[in-house]
Amino acid sequence: MDDSEAQFALTRLSRELWMELSPDLPRSVEYEACGTLWVAADEEEMREVRRKQEFYASRGVSTQILDALQLREAEPNLRDGLAGALLVNQDSVVYPPCAAVELIARSGATVLRARSVGIESQKVMLANGESLEAGVIINAAGIHAGALMPSVSVPIAPRKGHLLITDRYPGFVRHQLVELGYLKSAHSTTGSSVAFNVQPRRTGQLLIGSSRQFGVNSPDIDAPMMARMLRRATDFMPGIARLSAIRSWTGVRAATPDKLPLIGPCPGLPHAFIAAGHEGLGITTSLGTARILTDHIVGKTPPIPLSPYLPDRHA
């Protein structure tokens, strides 16, 4: 969230928009304001906790530092000997597929089930040979955004991730848990890495992550990668090893070189816009992205400037 000022700004805006929306989201969205705990393993990471708190505080987001004892109380299943944590209270988790259904329903948009094969200036070409004309076109095809516009440079690379999903264990984990070392591993833009990351679902299921691999497109489970990820997870939370896993999953994040999404007009394609490349934050930052892009399109001033995200910044 605080990789850079621009990432922080988009995340904070989006968080506020989610909070506004949350009171009347249907149950199916599973909005759960469980908060995030950034877990510090040692004193060096505690210094990072304090730095992070100041960074957030100076930008109007209040957080709380937990010492080793308070962390134990907050999350009894974490291992002994951790130094503490930073608690970001209002952070939430949602069930993204149903959140998408809800947002589409609210928008009143018509959903056409069709595959697009290309975007031109005011035209979307479909695989069935038909095409759609529109005054404004937004390319939000995630990892596939570039393929739809071969003439435009869209610097998005796949970054594969694994998840392991457990059976229901209500209360086993209470917050979203992320190791602070996550910063280090998520920072590295080459090679593969794992980090301890667990999200509780309202159902009591746990999503255990995370892994990052560049240049891998296959959706297959990479067993050694999954093993590395699980060893990392059980290192922080030994009890995870006993929980029953019912499913594994992989997905591909759309990564950009500077770790900021591409939001704004498509260079060289008038009336076409892009909203893609959110890497591992695209659920969180979806609402902020939509707000600043639509404000820009209708000629309003967005709540935060669009400039850091403009698709042609790499040119």
Partner 1 sequence: MKIVIVGAGPAGLAAARSAAEGVARSGADVTLIDGNHSTGGQIWRGGGAPEIETGVATLLNTRVASPDLLTFDKLILATGARELFLPFPGWTLPGVFGAGGLQALVKEGLDVRNKRVVVAGTGPLLLAVAHYLKTHGADIRLIAEQAPWSKLIRFGAALPSRKWLEALRLWNPCFSPSTWVTEAQGTTHVKSVSAGGKKIPCDYLAIGYGLVPNTELPQLMKVDPCALDEYQRTSNPAIFCAGEVTGIGGVDLSIVEGSIAGYAAAGDVEKARAFFVQRDRWKRFGTALAEAFALRPELAQLARPDTFVCRCEDVTYQELVAKASWREAKIHSRCGMGPCQGRVCGPAVEFLFGWKPDSVRPPLFPTPSGSFSMIGNEPQ
Ligand X SMILES: Cc1cc2nc3c(=O)[nH]c(=O)nc-3n(C[C@H](O)[C@H](O)[C@H](O)COP(=O)(O)OP(=O)(O)OC[C@H]3O[C@@H](n4cnc5c(N)ncnc54)[C@H](O)[C@@H]3O)c2cc1C
The site for ligand X (CB under 6 A) is made up of 115-116, 140-144, 148, 161, 163, 209, 251-253, 276, 278, 280-284
Is residue 170 within the footprint of partner 1 (CB under 8 A)? no
Chosen from ligand X, partner 1, none, partner binding at 113 (C-beta under 5 to 8 Å by type): partner 1
Give the relative orientation of helices 286-298 and 5-21 as an angle to the nearest 10 degrees: 100
- Binds partner 1 (CB under 8 A): choice among 61, 240, 272, 290: 240
Is residue 294 within the footprint of partner 1 (CB under 8 A)? no
Residue whose Cβ sits closest to ligand X:
282
Is residue 207 within the footprint of partner 1 (CB under 8 A)? no
Is residue 247 within the footprint of partner 1 (CB under 8 A)? yes
Q: Name the minimum Å distance from CB 177 to partner 1.
A: 15
Instruction: Confirm if 139 and 275 have CB atoms less than 8 A apart.
Output: yes
Is residue 32 within the footprint of partner 1 (CB under 8 A)? no
Bond before 210 cis per omega within 30 degrees: yes
Q: Name the minimum Å distance from CB 206 to partner 1.
A: 9
Is residue 173 within the footprint of partner 1 (CB under 8 A)? no
Instruction: Confirm if 87 and 66 have CB atoms less than 8 A apart.
Output: yes
Enclosing H/E stretch for 11: helix 5-21
- Binds partner 1 (CB under 8 A): choice among 6, 19, 21, 98: 98
Q: Which stretch binds partner 1 (CB under 8 A): 58-66, 145-153, 237-245, 268-276?
A: 237-245
Chosen from partner 1, ligand X, none, partner binding at 141 (C-beta under 5 to 8 Å by type): ligand X
* Distances in whole angstroms, Cα of residue 237 to Cα of each of 1, 68, 162, 182, 197: 24, 15, 18, 15, 10
* Distances in whole angstroms, Cα of residue 241 to Cα of each of 21, 164, 179, 229: 36, 12, 18, 12
Chosen from partner 1, ligand X, none, partner binding at 115 (C-beta under 5 to 8 Å by type): ligand X
Nearest to 99 by CA among 6, 202, 3: 202
Q: Name the minimum Å distance from CB 115 to partner 1.
A: 14
Is residue 231 within the footprint of partner 1 (CB under 8 A)? yes
Nearest to 86 by CA among 117, 108, 55: 55
Pairwise CA distance, residues 160 & 218, whole Å: 8
Pairwise CA distance, residues 255 & 308, whole Å: 16
- Number of residues interacting with partner 1: please give it, by CB under 8 A: 33
Q: Name the minimum Å distance from CB 167 to ligand X.
A: 18
> 3-class SS at 3?
coil
Q: Which of the residues 101 through 130 are near partner 1 (CB under 8 A)? A: 101, 113
- Binds partner 1 (CB under 8 A): choice among 221, 268, 301, 312: 221
Amino acid, res. 315: A
Q: Which residues bind partner 1 (CB under 8 A)?
A: 28, 97-98, 101, 113, 164, 166-167, 192, 208, 219, 221-228, 230-231, 233-234, 240-249
